[in-house]
Amino acid sequence: MPEALELIAPAGALPIGGEWRAIAERSDIVFPFDGSVVGQAPVSGEQDSRDALDAAEAARAAVAALTTAQRKAILTDLTSRVRASAQHLEDLLVLETGKPRVDCRTEVNRTIVTLEATAEEVSHIHGETVPLDLQELGRGMIGYYTRKPAGIVIGIAGFNYPLLLATHKLAPAIAAGCPVIIKPAPNTPLATIELLAITREILDAHGVTPAAVQLVNGAPIVGETLVRDPRASVVSFTGSAKIGHLIAQQAAPRKAVLELGSNTGFIVAADADLEAAVDAVLRGGFYANGQACISVQRVVLERGIAERFSARLVERMGELVVGDPRDLATNVAPVINAASGERIRAMIDRALAAGAELLTDGPGDGEAAHVRPVVLGNVPADVDVWCEEIFGPVVCLTVVDSIDAAIDLVNDSRYGLQAAIYTASLASAFDAIERLEVGGVVVNEIPGFRSDIMPYGGVKDSGIGREGPRFAIEEFTVTRMAMIRPQARS
């Protein structure tokens, strides 16, 4: 690890139970740009997961008993500490994810917004009175419900936004009064471990048991041990649909909050601001090296502007700077590893064999994780580069005759996370909002626009449940009814 990236977390240890547990096994963390080893991360095992659950169960009552003021103060202080550590966390993210620095900076900023917003939402966890006298038997009774901590939360995050995704689980768990155990993706754990180190320092300053926030790291069995345990009340997972479905089965009948993949649809109407729509595809299709669940993938063009849009997009592709992610000017860098690069190139090859057109230079070959940005035209709707999630710097174009047909084509997918439409027509915009079968519709902006205070999540195979401070807190709490018949005076 470079000297500039001295870690807060103790070397070779993970925050398990009340201490930092020394872990003998280590894994190399590799910089995707050049394959160099930038650090090592401890690799825990099944017993570590069981021990973390034991500690979380022992801490559950104390964490649930934290007052509203205590929870808010913890999150407020954590926000300040993360803001002060922003550059350090950004540097870690660049090295372990290989994302361009501009995207890592955005991730840190969104993490701060999430923490800040969650601290505000702590004050708004409340219940409601209920008119029990709707039934004759309820005449004279008092009814209300409150929200109580659900119990232990398991938070499992993907590799593409490791710090932010961990925060989407950790912050609402603290707000709800739930112990939380985080499991990062094995190839991107460093920034998340640092977040846990900062959080535990904050907990200590507030006199709260460190077992309220723990982290394990390792092979799938490490997470499976957590998910299958009946003490885990809520499992919150961000990742692929395939793994999400498996986790839901393993967690049943307990709650699973799943934010899964997608193949985001992007409609361009004939009346759209063409230059703005092209700009949106450049910004929205290739950020984070295309490794975002709501990056632009399927671009559906109304016929009247299809030729001009395609030509202009191809003309402007040269604006994308492909290079070293440490450089603030870089827009696209290598994907997470060689296996991902090979998978993406294979998807492109299958699309070309099925009749798609390569409108830009190819993705490159024999370059491991280095995948150059690609635009494909006339992509058939039955090839996997269209109907599955690419998770790489590839955008697919197709042409339809109407907005109706565009909406139907976007809906013809097993996924439904987020979609966008560019149009000057309010009628078309609201038609898309009403009819698109997704968790969120964005009008005249990239589908990757995501407010971390909105109810974020998908439908169909894109998941179930919602993230965002207020909504995740609801996912991590349960309602408790109270029905009271006051004792009659004698």
Q: Which residues are catalytic?
A: 259, 293
Compute the distance between CA of residue 419 and CA of residue 415 in angstroms, rounded to an integer. Answer: 11
Amino acid identity for residue 465 in this structure: G
